[in-house]
Amino acid sequence: MIKAFNELKENEVLALAISLEEEDGRIYGEFAERVKADYPATASIL
């Protein structure tokens, strides 16, 4: 069952935040790999 954000307990919010941070890291990593050949400086800061 999907809960509204304001219904989440503190530990659920923390778990969600950690999960989303990991997902963001993967997305930025994949993007950096794709642009590395053409834009190495940009890829290095991602």
In this predicted model, what pLDDT tens digit does every residue of 18-41 receive, in sequence order?
999 999 999 999 999 999 999 999
* Residue 34, in any domain of the structure: yes
Structural domain that includes position 36:
9-45
- Longest CA pairwise span in the chain (Å): 45
Q: Is residue 3 part of a domain?
A: no
Cβ atoms within 10 Å, residue 46: 14
Residue 25 forms part of a structural domain: yes
> Is 39 contained in some domain?
yes
Residue 31: the pLDDT is 96
Domain membership flag for residue 4: no
Give the contacts of 16 (CB within 8 A, at least 6 positions apart).
8
Is the whole-model pTM more than 0.75?
Answer: no
pLDDT at 1 over 90: no
Give, rounded to a whole angstrom, the gap between the first and last alpha carbons of the chain: 35
> Is residue 13, in this structure, part of any structural domain at all?
yes
In a domain, 2, yes or no: no
Q: Which residue has the tokens 């590395």?
A: 36
Q: How many domains does the chain have?
A: 1
